[in-house]
Amino acid sequence: MKKLHPEYGFNTLAVHSGTAPDPTTGARSFPIYQTTAYVFDDADHAASLFNLQEPGFIYSRLTNPTVAALEEKLATLEGGRGGTVTSSGHAAETLALFPLMAPGMEVIVADKLYGGTINLMGKSYQKFGWNAVFVDTDNPEAFRKAVTEKTRAIFIENLANPGGVVVDLEAIAKVAEEAGVPLIVDNTMATPFLCQPFEWGADLVVHSTTKFLSGQGNAVGGVVIDSGKFPWLGNSKFPSLSAPSPEYNGLTFAETFGDLAYTMYSHAISLRDLGCTQSPMNAWITLNGIETLPLRMERHCSNGLAVAKFLEKQANVEWVSFAGLESSPYFELGKKYLPEGTGSVFTFGVKGGYESGLKMLEAVKLFSHVANIGDTRSLILHPASTTHRQLTEEQRIAAGAGQEVIRLSIGIECVEDIISDLDQALNCL
Amino acid sequence: MPDPASVDHNSYPDSYIREILKNVRSIAMVGASATWNRPSNFVMKYLLKKGFKVIPVNPGAAGQKICGETVFPDLSSLSGTVDMVDIFRPAEDAPELVEEAIKIGAKVFWMQLGIANEEAATEPRRAG
Ligand SMILES: Cc1ncc(COP(=O)(O)O)c(C=O)c1O
C-alpha cells in the first residue's frame, strides 16, 4: 500500500485525519455543526467568500464544517487531493460526471455494476442526453474499442457488487490515459483499506459511504474524491474546468485552482446547483464509523473468506463467486489489487434455482433479509427479485444476478454462528 | 534547502515551498489584474490577507490601485527591492522579467501555474 503520510500509517489516519480537537471548546470527538449559515466579518469578507478568493463557510448546501472534516478524512485515506461529500452514493456518481459530461457525450461503463447504477446510467442519464456505453468488465480491450471522440469518462466498480468481481484497474487506467479521459472507480465494496485506486492510475474515486465506511447501516451518504492528477488546464474536452465558466461569472477553474479545480467546481457549482448535500448528522456518523474501518474490514474479510469456503463444500450449493477462493477466476487479480482480503460481499447459487433461493431467505435466523451491504450484521438478499429487478434478464445475467443467485454481506459476528445459521438454512432446502 | 537546479519544477514538495516563503515578506506581482475572476487577483488578495506586502506591476494600470495597492508600470520603477517576483505573464516574457528581477535584487522568481519556460527557469538559478 502506498504511503499516505510522511509520519502516520492508514489506521492512525483513519482515526485522526480531518478531525483535530475543536479549537474553541477543546471537544475531542469532532462536533456536529448542525448549522446552516456562517456570519460574514464584513461586506468585503462576504464578497471574497462568494468569489472563492478566501476559504471559509457560507451556507451548508455548499460547505459545512462537519461535512468538510469528512471530506478531508476520505480524501486523505484515498491519497487524493480533495473530496466532495454527497447525500448518497448515487448522488456521488452523478456529481462525479457533472463537470465532465454534456448532452451528446459518452461515458464508457463496465457491465458488472450495482444494479441501481446500471439503471441510473443506462436509463435516467438519457434524460440529460448523457450516453452510457456498457462494455464487458473483464475485457480491457472492450473498453479501448468503445472509445470515441465523444467519450468523456470511463466508469468501473472495484470488487463489483454483487459477485465480488475484481476489475483489472491498471489495464483500464491505461486505456483511459490513452483516450485522454478520467477513469472513475466506485470503490464502495473495497474501501481504501483494501485498495486505493489512485495507486493504479484512477483519476477519480466515488463511494457509497452508506456501506462499509459508515459501517453500521445507519447513514446514507456518498463522496467523490479527486486525485488532483488529471490535466484539465487547456483541455478543450472539459470546458467546465478549462474554459471561463458562465455559471461562475467567467472564472476558469483549472487556471485559478490548479489541482483543486475539480473539487472547487464540485462545491461551487455542482453542489450549489444540484443541491445533493449530506446532512451534518450523517457526516458525523460516518466520521465515527471510519475510525474503526480497519478493524471491521479485517473481521469482515476473514469471516467472508471462512463462509465462502464453507459454502463451497456444501452439496446443495452449485457455485460460490468470491475472489478470495482459489476456484475463482478473479483469484489472481484479487491477490494483485486486494492483497489484504477481497471483502465480504459475494454471491452463490443454490441447487433448485429461484424456489430454493426464496426458501433459503425464509429459513435464515441470524441473517437479515435487507437491500443493503457493508453492515456489522450479516445480510442476505435475492438480487434478481430486488436490487436488480428493473433490469432485463440479459443484463441480470451479465451483472451476475441471475435467478438462482443469492447475495451475502458477511458481518462481524462470531464466524461459527454465521456458518451454523447458513448450515441450518441449507438443510431446510 | 535543496539545490534549486535539482528539484522538479512541476511539483514542489511542501517543505521546499515552506523554506522559500519563510524568507519572503515583499512580493512584486507582474501582470496583476483588477478583474476579480483572474487568477492574479485571487493570489494577490490571498497573499495580502496572509500578511505579505504585495506590489502590483502592470503598465496598463500604472498609477491605479488593485486591492488598495498602487500599481507600478515595471519592476525597474519600484523604489527599493522585493524578496520575490511573481509573474502572471506569457512564458515568452519570462526571460526578460528574470533579468529585471535580478537587477532589483529579488531572490525568488515564481512563475504561475501553466506558465513554463525552461530557459527563464535556468537563468536565476545561475544567478543564485
Ligand atoms: C457499489 C455501489 N455503488 C453505489 C451504490 C449506491 O449508493 P447509495 O445507496 O448510497 O446511493 C451502492 C448501493 O448499494 C453500491 O453498492
Among residues A289, A316, A347, the one where a domain terminates is: A289
Domain total of chain B: 1
Whether A37 and A60 have beta carbons less than 8 Å apart is answered as yes
Retrieve residue A121's grid coordinates.
Answer: 446510467
Retrieve residue B52's grid coordinates.
Answer: 505579505
Among residues A289, A305, A332, the one where a domain terminates is: A289
Q: How does pLDDT run across A241-268, given as a tens digit for each residue?
A: 999 999 898 999 999 999 999 999 999 9
In a domain, A379, yes or no: yes
Whether A263 and A226 have beta carbons less than 8 Å apart is answered as yes
Among residues A224, A258, A289, the one where a domain terminates is: A289
Ligand 1 atom nearest to A387, measured from its CA:
14
Retrieve residue A86's grid coordinates.
Answer: 454527497
In a domain, A272, yes or no: yes
A196 lines ligand 1 (CB under 6 A): no
Domain total of chain A: 2
In a domain, B15, yes or no: no
Retrieve residue B29's grid coordinates.
Answer: 506581482
Angle (nearest 5°) at CA A74 between A69 and A77: 125
Q: How does pLDDT run across A157-166, given as a tens digit for each residue?
A: 999 988 889 9
Q: How does pLDDT run across A5-24, given as a tens digit for each residue?
A: 889 999 999 999 999 999 89
State the CATH number of the domain containing residue A225: 3.40.640.10
DSSP A426: H
Closest by Cα among A265, A258, A251, A233 to B38: A251
Q: How does pLDDT run across A392-409, given as a tens digit for each residue?
A: 888 888 878 888 899 999
Q: What is the span of the domain harbouring residue A326?
A: 293-426
Whether A403 and A354 have beta carbons less than 8 Å apart is answered as yes
Q: What is residue A387's predicted lDDT score, i.e. its pLDDT?
A: 82
Same domain, yes or no: A310 and A266: no
Whether A230 and A262 have beta carbons less than 8 Å apart is answered as yes
pLDDT band at residue A154 under the 50/70/90 scheme: very high
Q: Cα separation of A103 and A97, whole Å? A: 12
Q: Which residues of B touch A249 (CB under 8 A)?
A: 36-37
- Please name the residue of chain A whose CA is at the shortest distance from the CA of residue B42: A53
In a domain, A143, yes or no: no
What ipTM, to 2 d.p.? 0.75
Q: What is residue B116's predicted lDDT score, i.e. its pLDDT?
A: 59
A220 lines ligand 1 (CB under 6 A): yes
DSSP symbols for A269-324: IIIHHH--PPPHHHHHHHHHHHHTHHHHHHHHHHHHHHHHHHHHT-TTEEEEE-TT
pLDDT average, residue stretch A102-131: 96
Same domain, yes or no: A417 and A297: yes
- Pick from A74, A93, A157, A208 the residue to mutate for probing ligand 1's pocket: most ligand atoms within 8 Å of its CB: A208
pLDDT average, residue stretch A337-348: 96
Of A141 and B23, which is predicted with more confidence? A141
For residue A270, pLDDT over 80 is answered with: yes
Specify the pTM. 0.92
Q: Cα separation of A218 and A230, whole Å? A: 34
In a domain, B17, yes or no: no
| pLDDT mean values, one per 10 residues, chain B (128 residues) | 65 80 92 91 91 95 93 91 91 89 89 63 56
Amino acid at A6: P
> What's the full length of chain B, in residues?
128
